Structure 1
Amino acid sequence: MNILIVSEYIAPVQAVASIRWTKISKYLKRTHSDVSITVLTNQLQQNGENAQKNDLLLEKDMTVFDEYWTVPRSWALILYERVKRRQLPATRELQTQIQSMKQGGLGLRIKKELLLLVRDIKDVICYHQAMHFLKKKSESFDVIVSTYGPAWPHLVAEQLKKKQIHAFWLADFRDPYAKDTDPPCAWRRHDRFTKKHCSKANAITFVSDGFRLNKPVGVPFQMVTNGFDPAEARPPFPPDRFRIVFTGTLYGEKSGIGIVCRAVKDLMAEGALKDGIVVYAGADDSQARTQAARYDAQDCLRTVGLLPRIQALELQQKAAILLQLDWSNAARHCEWSGKMYEYMMARKPILFVMTGSEPNSYPSRYMEKLGGFCYEQCRHESAYPQMKRFIMNKYLEWKETGNVTIKVDEPYIQQFSYEQIAERVWTLINN
C-alpha cells in the first residue's frame, strides 16, 4: 500500500503538530510490512533564519519514510516571507492588541480580518508551489492523507484526488479551521472550506468531540485523537525539588499560570509549603511573569525559555506536578490536547487549570482517571481551596517519602497510545 502524507508539520520539525502523523506512520510501518510512505511538505531543511528547528526524537522516526519530498520555495513565497519579516514588529503589536480586543473594537476587527486574509493568501501560494512541484512526479498512491493546519495540504489533496480517483483520501483536521476567535468574514470563509474543498474525501478525521466542521454531505466522519508514543516514555524521577512544571504555550489571559503561582505563594505564607516553585518552559516568559505579578507572586515563578522537546521531557521527569493550562467557553469546549498526551506517559500528578465561564469541563470530569486535579476558574470559591489542598498533599508526600505517586486508569490511558491509534487509522483506510 502506497501512502502519501501531505503536511506542513511532520518530522523533523520541532512542533507538537509534527508528532501526530510521524507517529501514526511509525506504527503503520511497524505493524504492516507492505506499507510504503511518502511525505510531501514545504518545511525548510536548510540553515538560515527561516529554517525550522529540528526535534531530535522525531528525527529518529524519519527512517519510516520511504520518500521525503520537500517543495522548494517559490518566488511568491520568498516575497511573502520578506514582507512578513519587515512587518513583524507591527504584526506582533497588532496580535497583542487583538488578544485584548473587545467585541465593539471595529477597527481592530477589520485589522484582524486583513491579517487572516493575508495568511489565507499564503495557503494559496503554498498550494500552487506544491502543485508545480508535483508536475515532475508520476507516482500514484493508494491512500492520500492531508492534514490541517495550515489549509494548503487539503487543497493539494483535492486536486490529487481528481487525478487519482481510486485513491482513498483521508482529510485530517488537527484543529478546526473556523475558530471562535475569527472575525465574521474570516469565520464564514473558513467555515465553508471543509464543505467546499473536502467533499470528495473518502473520510474526514478530527481529534476531539465538539469539533466544529461544516461537514460535506455523504463523507464519513471519525474521531482519531492525538496520543503519545510509548517508546518515548521515560521513567519518572524522584523530584530533587518541589517543582510544578508547565512546558507549553501561553495564550494571553486564557492561560491561568498566575493563579498557580498565587496558590504556591499562599501555601508558603501559611507555612504549609517551604520550597515550592512554578517552572515555565516556553516562549512567553514576559507573559508568564506578568500573570504571576498580578498576584504579587513573581518570586514563585522561574522561567527557563523554550526548550527542545527532549529537554522538556527531561524536565517533566524531574517534576513533582505537571501543569496544563486551557480554557473553555460556550463556543469552545476543551478536551485533551497534545501536551496532555505527553503528560500521560510521564506518570506524574497533573494539575489542570481551566479558565473560562463553562463549569463541568471535560478535564474536570476525567482528571481523576489520570491521577490529577482540575481547577475551574468559574468555580473559584470552591475550586481554589481544593487546588491548594492537592498541591499541599503532593508536597507532604514528597517531604515524607522523597517521591510523588499517582493512581491512574490504565486502560483509559492506553487507548491514547499511537500504537493503538495507528491501528484505528489502518482499519479506517481499509474499510
Structure 2
Amino acid sequence: MKKVLIITYYWPPAGGPGVQRWLKFVKYLPEFGVEPVVYIPENPTYPLTDKSLASEVPENSKIVQKRIFEPYSLAKIFSKKNTETISSGIIAKEGKQNFLQKMMLYIRGNFFIPDARKFWIKPSVKFLKRFLKEQQITTIITTGPPHSLHLIGLQLKKDLNINWYADFRDPWTQIGYHDKLRLSKSSQKKHLALEKEVLNTADHIITTSFTTRAEFQKKTTRPVTVITNGFDLKTAENDVQLDKKFTFSHIGSLLSGRNPENLWKCLEELISENKEFANDFRLNLIGAVSEDVLDSIKFAGLEKHLRLQKYVPHAEAIELQRRSQVLLLIEIDSQETKGIIPGKVFEYMAAKRPILALGPAEWDICQILDETLAGTFFRYSEEKELKSHILKLYSQFKEGRLEVESRNIQNYHRKALTANLAKLLKQTWL
C-alpha cells in the first residue's frame, strides 16, 4: 500500500464542513490501496469545534503534529464579531464594520499573506523534508484554505521534486471576500503571484466546484479536476418520523449576505392569505443567524413561526435534516458566489427531503440538482415562481405525499468520491 501525506489545518475537534472532506477521504483511502498520513497543527485555533467528530477518525490513522504560531488573538476578534474567522470567508458587510474591524482587515490582508497561518510554512517545510525522506513518501496533498498550506507544498515540490496535489476547497484571489481585505496594490500582486506559482507548479489541481475549475483552467496548463464534497450516510429510510408541521429548515450559518428577503416576502403573503398555511408553517434556523436576517424575518411578520437553534453536533444536524419537510439552501446573490457548493447540499440529498435552493444565476448547485433531481432552484428575482412552488409543496404536504424522487445521489457518497481521488493518485504512480 502506497503512502500519501495529507497536509491540512482543519481536523477534529474542528467543526464545520471544512474538516469533513479530508476526514472522510482518510477513512476510505485504505480501501483503494492508499495509506494516508495526516499532518496537522498541534495547537490550532478553530472558530467552531465539534468533539463528536473525533470519534470518526479511523483508529489506525497515522497523525503527525507540529506546533504552530499564529496571531490567534486576531482570529478571536473576528470570530466574536462575525462568528467565524476571515479565513473561513465570513466578513461583515462593508457598511457595518467599525474602525477596529477595518484596521484588523487591513492588517490581515497586508501583513499576513496569504493568511494568518503563514508562520507554519518554514518550520513545516524543514520538518517534512526529513519526515518524507524517512518514510519514503513521494506524494503529498495540500488542502486550503488556509492557502499557506499550499506554500508548504510549493516549497516541498521545489526541494524534493515530489508528486504534489493542491486541493482548493475554496478559491484564492477570486473568493468573494478577497476584495474586502483592503489590500494594497503590492499585496494584491503578491497574492496573485503566489496563486499563479502554486497553480503552475503543483502536478494536479483539485477543486470542489465547476466554476473554480473553469477559473483555474484560465490560469494554468496543469490538469484541474473537480471532486466535490459529499455525504457519508445511509440515505434516509421511509420510516423516518417527519415533522408534523410544514417545516422549512436551514442548517448552518445564515449571515448578512445570505438574507433571502424574497423568500420571507413570499412566506409573509402565504401566511396572510391562507390561515391553514399559517397554522402549519414553521421556519427552523439551526446555526449562527445574523441580526440582519432576524430583523428581516421579524419585519415580514414571521417571528412567531421561527424556531432558532445554535450550532448543533453533526449527528443532531443530520437528524434535523431528515425530519424536515423542506430543506433550504441559500447563497449570496452574486457572481462571485456562483462557484460555492455548500457541503450541506450533499447531506440534504441523503436526507431525501425536497431542497429549495435560492442563489445567483448559473450557480454550480443547478448542475447537481439537475443531475440528481433532489430539489428546485430559484433566483432571487423569481418571487412569483417561488411562491407558486411553495404552494405546490404545501399542497403535497397536506395530501401526505411530499417526497423527492432523486437519482444518482450515490455518485456523491464519500466512498465514491474517494475512489475518484485514489484513481488520480494512482495515475501519478504508474
Shorter-chain TM band: 0.7 to 0.9
Give the Å deviation of 1:85.
Answer: 4.3
For 2:403, the equivalent position in structure 1 comes to 405
CA contact (8 A) 2:349 2:374 kept: no
1:228-243 matches, cutoff 5 A = 228-229=231-232, 231-235=233-237, 236-243=240-247
1:117 and 2:116 are equivalent in the alignment: no
For 1:194, the equivalent position in structure 2 comes to 195
For 1:127, the equivalent position in structure 2 comes to 121
Provide the C-alpha distance between the structure 1 equivalents of 2:264 and 2:108, rounded to a whole number of angstroms.
34
After superposition, the Cα gap between the structure-2 partners of 1:107 and 1:344, relative to the gap in structure 1 and judged at 3 Å, is same
For 2:39, the equivalent position in structure 1 comes to 40
TM-score (norm 1): 0.82
User: What amino acid sits opposite 1:243 in the alignment?
Assistant: T
Say which is worse superposed, 414-423 or 367-376, in terms of deviation.
367-376
TM-score (norm 2): 0.82
Provide the C-alpha distance between the structure 2 equivalents of 1:10 and 1:97, rounded to a whole number of angstroms.
23
User: What amino acid sits opposite 2:140 in the alignment?
Assistant: I
Say which is worse superposed, 119-128 or 315-324, in terms of deviation.
119-128
Q: What is the CA deviation profile of residues 79-115 of structure 1, one whole-angstrom value per residue up to 9, with x for unaligned ones?
A: x2246547876888x999951349xx99998864433
Please state whether the residue corresponding to 1:407 is helix, strand or coil. Answer: coil
1:328-367 matches, cutoff 5 A = 328-334=333-339, 336-354=341-359, 356=360, 358=361, 361-364=363-366, 367=369
User: What amino acid sits opposite 1:209 in the alignment?
Assistant: F
1:15-414 matches, cutoff 5 A = 15-32=16-33, 35-42=34-41, 44=43, 53-56=49-52, 58-63=53-58, 66-74=61-69, 77=70, 80-82=71-73, 85=76, 99-101=93-95, 112-120=105-113, 122-131=116-125, 133-134=127-128, 137=131, 138-165=134-161, 167-178=162-173, 179-183=175-179, 185=185, 187-211=188-212, 212-213=215-216, 217-229=220-232, 231-235=233-237, 236-252=240-256, 254-271=257-274, 273=277, 274-284=279-289, 286-334=291-339, 336-354=341-359, 356=360, 358=361, 361-364=363-366, 367=369, 369-377=372-380, 379=381, 383-401=382-400, 404-408=402-406, 410-411=407-408, 413-414=409-410
After superposition, the Cα gap between the structure-2 partners of 1:257 and 1:83, relative to the gap in structure 1 and judged at 3 Å, is closer
Q: What is the CA deviation profile of residues 345-377 of structure 1, one whole-angstrom value per residue up to 9, with x for unaligned ones?
A: 1100111122x5x4x544456645434222211
CA contact (8 A) 1:206 1:223 kept: yes
CA contact (8 A) 2:145 2:170 kept: yes
Provide the C-alpha distance between the structure 2 equivalents of 1:220 and 1:298, rounded to a whole number of angstroms.
49
For 1:13, the equivalent position in structure 2 comes to 14
After superposition, the Cα gap between the structure-2 partners of 1:99 and 1:322, relative to the gap in structure 1 and judged at 3 Å, is same
Provide the C-alpha distance between the structure 1 equivalents of 2:391 and 2:158, rounded to a whole number of angstroms.
60
Identity %: 20
User: What amino acid sits opposite 2:168 in the alignment?
Assistant: F
Gaps of 5+ in 1: none
Q: What is the CA deviation profile of residues 315-345 of structure 1, one whole-angstrom value per residue up to 9, with x for unaligned ones?
A: 1111000001013434442453211112111
After superposition, the Cα gap between the structure-2 partners of 1:213 and 1:159, relative to the gap in structure 1 and judged at 3 Å, is same
Give the Å deviation of 1:417.
Answer: 2.0
After superposition, the Cα gap between the structure-2 partners of 1:130 and 1:376, relative to the gap in structure 1 and judged at 3 Å, is same
After superposition, the Cα gap between the structure-2 partners of 1:418 and 1:64, relative to the gap in structure 1 and judged at 3 Å, is farther
Say which is worse superposed, 35-44 or 320-329, in terms of deviation.
35-44
User: What amino acid sits opposite 2:393 in the alignment?
Assistant: K
Give the Å deviation of 1:25.
Answer: 2.3
Question: Pairwise CA RMSD of aligned residues?
Answer: 3.4
After superposition, the Cα gap between the structure-2 partners of 1:287 and 1:296, relative to the gap in structure 1 and judged at 3 Å, is same
